[in-house]
Each structure stands twice: as structure tokens, then as C-alpha cells.
Amino acid sequence: MPEKNNLTKNLKQLSEIANWFESREDVDIEEGLKKVKQAAVIIKESKKRLKEIENEFQEVKKELEEE
């Protein structure tokens, strides 16, 4: 399960999932499906976090422009 609001750990987990697929000649379909579902959840959380980060940067930029 992805760690909420931790983009670095989420990206590391996605890398580990990609490596899992790359390291196998024959992928177990059931296990592969679990990995894909896990990756989808991580990507969703990461996109949400990126949006939060973007909003935080915009707030800082506004504050700097006001001074």
C-alpha cells in the first residue's frame, strides 16, 4: 500500500514493481495482476500528492510576489 503523501517512497515502490516484471522470464498472471493493481493505487496517490505540491508552490510564489 502506498504511503500517503510520500512521493519519494511511492516512486521507489513503482520502481520495485517495474523491476519485478523485468526480472522474470515468465510472469505469474495472478501475481502480475496484483502488482498492476498496487501500482495503480500508488500512481493515483502520487498524482494527488503532485497536485498538493504544485498548490503549495503556488502559495509560496504568491507570498513572494506580495512582498
Task: Report pLDDT digits (tens) over 42-58.
Answer: 999 999 999 999 999 99
Task: Classify residue 55: in a domain, yes or no.
Answer: yes
Task: Classify residue 37: in a domain, yes or no.
Answer: yes
Q: How many domains is the chain built from?
A: 1
Give the pLDDT confidence score for residue 66 in this predicted structure: 86
Task: Classify residue 1: in a domain, yes or no.
Answer: no
Determine how many CB atoms are found less than 10 A away from the CB of residue 43.
13
Question: Domain containing 54: what range?
Answer: 7-66
**Confidence class for position 5, pLDDT limits 50, 70, 90:** low
When mean pLDDT is compared across 3-12, 13-22, 38-47, the lowest value belongs to 3-12
Alpha-carbon gap, residue 36 to 45, rounded angstroms:
14
Which secondary structure element, helix H or strand E, spans residue 56, and what is its range?
helix 29-66
State the residue for C-alpha cell 503549495. Answer: 56
Task: Classify residue 2: in a domain, yes or no.
Answer: no
Residues 26-45: tens digit of each pLDDT: 989 999 999 999 999 999 99
State the residue for C-alpha cell 494527488. Answer: 48
